[in-house]
Amino acid sequence: MSDKPYSSAEGDAGQPGTTHFGFQQVAENDKARKVAEVFHSVASRYDVMNDLMSGGMHRAWKAFTVARAAIRPGMKVLDIAGGTGDLAKAFARRAGPTGEVWLTDINDSMLRVGRDRMLDAGLLMPAAVCDAEKLPFPDGYFDRVSVAFGLRNMTHKDRALAEMARVLRPGGKLLVLEFSRVAKPLRPVYDWYSFNILPWLGRKVANDETSYRYLAESIRMHPDQDTLKGMLEQAGLARVQYFNLTAGVVALHEGLRL
Ligand SMILES: C[S@@+](CC[C@H](N)C(=O)[O-])C[C@H]1O[C@@H](n2cnc3c(N)ncnc32)[C@H](O)[C@@H]1O
């Protein structure tokens, strides 16, 4: 079990030019490469690990996100860090043939699994390698932008959030689903699970203990609910609110572009 404190803000980067990668302090320009190694390594076992680690709960968290997104036929939707495509798939079904749903991710191994799953489901949609910090879309293009379990891995979360706000049309909605700060009474058991069971599952199922240790550590270093709410406001989003799911294991933040 870890005795590391929970982080309270993205700003605890330590020395200038460094940031955190889990509990390690690394050069800022090294983080993206290290994150890429994690997701290249886990891509093929990613979905089965999600079900095992969360006991299937990630499906309910995503279903709630899809409900809050309130996608209507014809909408333009961008799923950032979309990986194997759970959200994009649900969005595409709701946006219908007149809609435009983009599945994007910085990691081509994850995106390839996602694109194949979309094709297997009979859904034709654009899939593109994109860095959330430099989105290749015009201002005000999308009705909805989502990011699920991706923000935590980004080096400059403030830049990524500003980009998400930029590509939303006025009145458009941003949805950020991410691990968050669990209710205090649950922390001991949650820490025990995270630092023992997750790496063990990673070793047994994905043959990769290190990446799942990173998962547990990166959750602890991610901003808590109120800090992230402030970051969305800072990025120019309005009427920002969040929903704690499973006692704060996960939180869904949403905000509107004015
Ligand atoms: C935990 S997976 C989430 C996948 C999917 N959204 C889901 O909920 O199952 C995190 C994803 O974030 C992606 N990612 C990390 N940094 C990124 C960045 N700067 N821009 C876009 N995607 C990024 C990773 O490649 C990875 O596929």
Q: Which of 33, 58, 107, 161 to probe ligand 1 with, by most ligand atoms within 8 A of CB?
A: 107
Q: How far is the C-alpha of 12 from the C-alpha of 18, rounded, in Å?
A: 10
* pTM: predicted TM-score of the whole model, two decimal places: 0.95
Q: Residue 14: what pLDDT?
A: 54
Distance 36 CA to ligand 1 centre (A): 9
Instruction: Work out the pLDDT band at 16, boundaries 50, 70, 90.
Output: confident
Give the residue among 215, 251, 240, 227 at the shortest CA–CA distance from 2: 215
Give the model confidence (pLDDT) of 113-126 as tens digits. Answer: 999 999 999 999 99
226 belongs to a structural domain: yes
Indicate the residue type of 149. Answer: F
Domain CATH for 228: 3.40.50.150
12 belongs to a structural domain: no
Q: How far is the C-alpha of 163 from the C-alpha of 181, rounded, in Å?
A: 25
Q: Is the ipTM of this complex over 0.85?
A: yes
Give the model confidence (pLDDT) of 225-243 as tens digits. Answer: 999 999 999 999 999 999 9
5 belongs to a structural domain: no
Distance 162 CA to ligand 1 centre (A): 17
| Region 96-120 average pLDDT | 97
Binding site per annotation, positions for S-adenosyl-L-methionine: 84, 105, 131-132
98 belongs to a structural domain: yes
| Region 97-119 average pLDDT | 98
Residue with CA at minimum distance from ligand 1 atom 10: 150
Tokens matching residue 257: 């572009």
The structural domain count of the chain equals 1
13 belongs to a structural domain: no
Q: How far is the C-alpha of 222 from the C-alpha of 179, rounded, in Å?
A: 8
Residue 99 belongs to domain spanning: 18-257
4 belongs to a structural domain: no
Q: Helices 28-42 & 108-120, crossing angle to 10 degrees?
A: 40
Give the model confidence (pLDDT) of 122-150 as tens digits. Answer: 999 999 999 999 999 999 999 999 999 99
6 belongs to a structural domain: no
Residue with tokens 């994109």: 130
Residue with CA at minimum distance from ligand 1 atom 1: 149
DSSP state for residue 257 in the 8-state scheme = E
State yes or no: pLDDT of 11 exceeds 90: no
Ligand 1: list residues with CB < 6 Å: 35, 39, 80-84, 86, 105-107, 110, 131-133, 148-150, 153-154
pLDDT above 70: percentage of residues in the chain: 94
Element of type H or E holding 215? helix 209-221
Q: How far is the C-alpha of 47 from the C-alpha of 117, rounded, in Å?
A: 11
1 belongs to a structural domain: no
Give the model confidence (pLDDT) of 42-76 as tens digits. Answer: 999 999 999 999 999 999 999 999 999 999 999 99
